[in-house]
Structure 1
Amino acid sequence: MHSSPRPKPAILVVDAHELSRALLTEALATRLDAVDVIGLASPDAWRADATVVARLAIFCMPAQAGAAAAERWTREHPDGGTSEPAVPLLLLCEEDDARAECRALAAGFKGLISSEASLELLVAAARVIMAGGIYFPQLVSAAAPLVAAQDAGAPIDTGAPRRADAAAVTDAPSPAGTPALTARETLVLAELRRGHSNKVIARALNMSENTAKMHVRRILAKLRVRNRTEAAVLVNTPRQ
């Protein structure tokens, strides 16, 4: 008996504009020779094919339209065409601020990249997402002042009543721009960025290890990432 050929991995490029879709499809195909690149005029044009497994879908559209399209796509395409996990989505749009990234993240995208970014950056982001990572370069960029201050050992102004130790940092909403993270969670996220364990985080921020674990769980849930590594990748992704 001959075994069935393995499905070929593919990247889907969803763009309503024929010319830009054709150009992007061709450009990605020259740089990602291990996968097929398939252009689609709309998300509805994709039909599951047993010979192809979609590893990534790139939606080229405004952030608001992308959010609606992603929700519909996830509902209609729970997997990649076989028994594979759901297809990760990358949004390519003009908006590239933290607000747009929060909207994309809430809609289920694994990344957002500006339409003004270089092709090399798009390819890199695609590879990160296909490998199971996420790409939101601006989502926590406003947290940089807090992170830098802590790196330097400087006092951090969170708007809370001043106390001598890190435990004084309250759970008031952080000015950091990260979605719904409190000031203390922002500090914990900064420790995750360095790869620190819960025990090290607890010692650095003068809290119990159980409290550190609680904050880590909340951070992962709020950022909609699966583990500490994804959270660290999100923070460490440089702005472009």
Structure 2
Amino acid sequence: MYILLTGPAGLFREGVEALLRGFAQDAEVLASNCLTTNWPNDRKPDCVVMDGDCLRRASDELEAARRHTRTTPVIVLLSDAQRQHVDDLLAAGVSGCVEKSASSELLFSALRLAFAGGVYLPRSLVAASLHEPLAAAGVDAAQGLPYPNPHLHLTPRQIEVLALLARGRSNKMIARHLDVAEATVKTHLTTIFKALNVSSRGEASAVAARMERIRDAQVDKAINGHVTVGRLLANMQSHRFRSGEVLFRKGDASGELFYIEKGTVRLSELGIDMGAGTVLGEIGLFSPGYRRTSTAVCKTDCEMRTVSAADAIRLYYQEPEFALYLIQLIASRLQADKSRPA
């Protein structure tokens, strides 16, 4: 696991760097003074941990974070977790804000939650935003999170908006994902905030994390094939392939999967043609020995987005819809192969 730590050099950064090396057995940590639009050494990290106190003074660093959050979880460390600043960071897509006064275990919890696709909020901020003590009815004192009203009514579209908000998506990203105007998203959020009796994105995310309907909406979307995989992979690199070009051969080591944007690919041993909007190469990422199970040849000129094995696994954890999509896809293809005449 490769973690990029950014912030000014000094005792604090050295201390956090030492902690992060203990997060995972194989954790590799690279420290850098700041975050830029290009990764250090052109190597993409599995996660970014930032000194958030620098972000107020460096708008270009915040813009770099906003650019990277779509495909890489970003955790921000803050001395003072003020509501507006945290909301701005959540709107930029960060996966969590952790106070510098927190324990190492809380930092590790935030990292694990980020890798699982969740959003971590500072406990003090969530607690302070409530209008009643943590031990009062309707609040989980151990977690500092409000319980949603079981009789709360939200429309299916509002559930979708809230689910995306809870995963740190900005209004613009939500609008793009749902194919609606950004103004429509703002209108939905105004209604949602009123219904939840909250006043910020952070509070709304805290409530959403406890709502079964949020999770059910994502599961239903994936199971019923409504996941727009192209949008999930929009930031992945696109390549062109010529007709007759071999993408991979049966038995080759599997290091990536492909999303076909244009053209047709033929799986030779199976005699199957796959067209635009199709994912292929996914079985090899999970098969014993990580080997290709068939040969893929471009039947026509093709345009495809390629997703490395590391990015595919990361998306699997970060995007619940993508994970269920892959599981359903692999199961259906294995079933089809099993039913094929010998």
Q: Which runs of 5+ in 2 are unaligned?
A: 140-145, 175-203, 211-342
Specify whether residues 94 and 13 from structure 1 end up closer, same or farther in structure 2 by C-alpha distance, changes over 3 A only. Answer: same
* 1:123-181 deviation digits (Å, cap 9, x = unpaired): 111121122211013565424649988749xxxxxxxxxxxxxxxxxxxxxxxxxxxxx
Structure 1 CA distance for aligned equivalents of residues 205 and 72 of structure 2: 20
Q: Tell whether 2:46 aligns with 1:55.
A: yes
TM-score (norm 2): 0.40
Could you tell me whether the CA contact under 8 Å between 2:93 and 2:168 is conserved in 1? Answer: no
Structure 2 CA distance for aligned equivalents of residues 91 and 103 of structure 1: 12
* 1:204-236 deviation digits (Å, cap 9, x = unpaired): 24x5xxx53243234335555479xx9468656
| 1:217 counterpart (160, 169, 174) | 160
Specify whether residues 58 and 28 from structure 1 end up closer, same or farther in structure 2 by C-alpha distance, changes over 3 A only. Answer: same
Structure 1 CA distance for aligned equivalents of residues 105 and 4 of structure 2: 17
Instruction: State the AA in 2 paired with 1:47.
Output: P
Specify whether residues 234 and 118 from structure 1 end up closer, same or farther in structure 2 by C-alpha distance, changes over 3 A only. Answer: farther
| 1:97 counterpart (82, 85, 98) | 82
- RMSD between superposed Cα atoms in Å: 3.7
- Pairing 1:120-159 to 2, within 5 Å after superposition: 120-138=105-123, 140-141=126-127, 142-143=129-130, 145=132, 151=138
| 2:4 counterpart (9, 12, 15) | 12
Shift of 1:17: 2.2
TM-score (norm 1): 0.55
* 1:83-129 deviation digits (Å, cap 9, x = unpaired): xx621111101121322211211222111111111122111111211
Specify whether residues 19 and 234 from structure 1 end up closer, same or farther in structure 2 by C-alpha distance, changes over 3 A only. Answer: farther
Shift of 1:34: 3.0
- Pairing 1:1-240 to 2, within 5 Å after superposition: 9-44=1-36, 46-49=39-42, 53-62=44-53, 63-65=55-57, 68-75=60-67, 77=68, 86-138=71-123, 140-141=126-127, 142-143=129-130, 145=132, 151=138, 190-191=148-149, 201=150, 204-205=151-152, 207=153, 211-223=154-166, 225=168, 231=205, 235=209
Structure 1 CA distance for aligned equivalents of residues 207 and 88 of structure 2: 19
Could you tell me whether the CA contact under 8 Å between 2:118 and 2:166 is conserved in 1? Answer: no
Structure 1 CA distance for aligned equivalents of residues 166 and 95 of structure 2: 11
Specify whether residues 146 and 68 from structure 1 end up closer, same or farther in structure 2 by C-alpha distance, changes over 3 A only. Answer: farther
Instruction: State the AA in 1 paired with 2:3.
Output: I
Instruction: State the AA in 2 paired with 1:95.
Output: D
Could you tell me whether the CA contact under 8 Å between 2:66 and 2:94 is conserved in 1? Answer: no
Could you tell me whether the CA contact under 8 Å between 1:91 and 1:113 is conserved in 2? Answer: yes
Specify whether residues 149 and 68 from structure 1 end up closer, same or farther in structure 2 by C-alpha distance, changes over 3 A only. Answer: farther
1:155 alignment partner in structure 2: none
Q: Which has the larger radius of gyration?
A: 2
Could you tell me whether the CA contact under 8 Å between 2:3 and 2:27 is conserved in 1? Answer: yes
Could you tell me whether the CA contact under 8 Å between 2:65 and 2:92 is conserved in 1? Answer: no
Instruction: State the AA in 1 paired with 2:25.
Output: D
Q: Percent identity?
A: 23
Q: How many residues align?
A: 167
Structure 1 CA distance for aligned equivalents of residues 49 and 96 of structure 2: 9
Q: Secondary structure at the match of 1:134?
A: coil
Specify whether residues 217 and 150 from structure 1 end up closer, same or farther in structure 2 by C-alpha distance, changes over 3 A only. Answer: farther
Instruction: State the AA in 2 paired with 1:28.
Output: L
Could you tell me whether the CA contact under 8 Å between 1:70 and 1:109 is conserved in 2? Answer: no
Structure 2 CA distance for aligned equivalents of residues 113 and 219 of structure 1: 22
Could you tell me whether the CA contact under 8 Å between 1:61 and 1:91 is conserved in 2? Answer: yes
Q: Secondary structure at the match of 1:58?
A: strand
Q: Secondary structure at the match of 1:31?
A: coil
